[in-house]
Structure 1
Amino acid sequence: MTTTEHLLDLSDFAWQRLRDRLTGLTDEEYFWEPFDGCWSIHESADGFVADGAAIPPKPAPFTTLAWRITHIVDILQEDRTATWFGQQPAADDGQPPVPGSAAAALAALDHAYDVWRRRLAALTEDVLSRPMGAVAGPYAEHDGTSFALHILDELIHHGAEVGAVRDFYRGARAEDPFADALAGERTPAEHPALLAEAAAAQRWDVVPQLADLGFDVNARTADGFTAAHLAAGTGSLDTLRFLVERGADVSLTDPRYDADVLGWANWFQQTEAADYLTARTHAGSDA
Structure 2
Amino acid sequence: MTTTLENLLKLSDFAWQRLRARVQGLTDEEYFWEPFDGCWSIRKTGAGFVQDSSDIPPEPSPFTTLAWRISHIVDILQEDRTATWFGHEADPADGQPPVPGSAAEALTALDHSYDVWRRRLAALSQEDLDRRMGQIAGPWANDDGTAFALHILDELIHHGAEVGTVRDFYRGTHPEDPFDEALAGELTPAAHPTLVADAAAAQRWDVIPRLAELGFGLDEMTTNGFTAAHLAAGNGALETVRFLVEHGADLAIADPRFNADVLGWAYWFKRADVIAYLEAQGTKAR
Could you state the TM-score of these two structures normalised by the residue count of structure 1? 0.89
Question: Matched residues in 1 for 2:96 and 2:219: separation?
Answer: 47
Residue number in structure 1 paired with 2:182: 181
CA deviation digits over 1:147-194, x for unaligned, max 9?
110011001111111111112222221111111222234344443432
State the shift of 1:94 in Å. 2.9
1:148 aligns with 2:149: yes
Aligned AA (2:140): Y
Give the total of aligned pairs.
283
State the shift of 1:60 in Å. 0.5
Name the CA shift for 1:266/1:77 in 2 (closer, same or farther; >3 Å): same
Name the CA shift for 1:118/1:45 in 2 (closer, same or farther; >3 Å): same
Kept after mapping to 1: 8 A contact 2:71/2:99: yes
Residue number in structure 2 paired with 1:60: 61
For the residue of structure 1 that corresponds to 2:95, the secondary structure is coil
Residue number in structure 1 paired with 2:249: 248
Question: Matched residues in 1 for 2:123 and 2:219: separation?
Answer: 44
Question: Matched residues in 2 for 1:171 and 1:197: separation?
Answer: 17
Question: Matched residues in 2 for 1:251 and 1:120: separation?
Answer: 36
1:159 aligns with 2:160: yes
Residue number in structure 2 paired with 1:171: 172
Kept after mapping to 1: 8 A contact 2:182/2:211: yes
Residue number in structure 1 paired with 2:208: 207
Aligned AA (1:117): R
Residue number in structure 2 paired with 1:106: 107
State the shift of 1:102 in Å. 1.8
Residue number in structure 2 paired with 1:75: 76
Residue number in structure 1 paired with 2:122: 121
Structure 2, gaps ≥5 residues long: none
Question: Matched residues in 1 for 2:117 and 2:36: separation?
Answer: 33
- 1:14-53 equivalences in 2 (<5 Å): 14-53=15-54
- 1:1-20 equivalences in 2 (<5 Å): 1-20=2-21
Larger Rg: 1
Question: Matched residues in 1 for 2:107 and 2:252: separation?
Answer: 37
Question: Matched residues in 2 for 1:222 and 1:175: separation?
Answer: 18
For the residue of structure 2 that corresponds to 1:24, the secondary structure is coil
Kept after mapping to 1: 8 A contact 2:24/2:223: no
Name the CA shift for 1:132/1:277 in 2 (closer, same or farther; >3 Å): same
Residue number in structure 2 paired with 1:130: 131
Structure 1 range deviating more: 152-161 or 113-122: 113-122
Residue number in structure 1 paired with 2:89: 88
Question: Matched residues in 1 for 2:267 and 2:237: separation?
Answer: 14
Question: Matched residues in 1 for 2:220 and 2:75: separation?
Answer: 40
Could you state the TM-score of these two structures normalised by the residue count of structure 2? 0.89
Structure 1 range deviating more: 21-30 or 255-264: 255-264
User: What percent identity do the matched residue pairs reach?
Assistant: 70
Structure 1, gaps ≥5 residues long: none
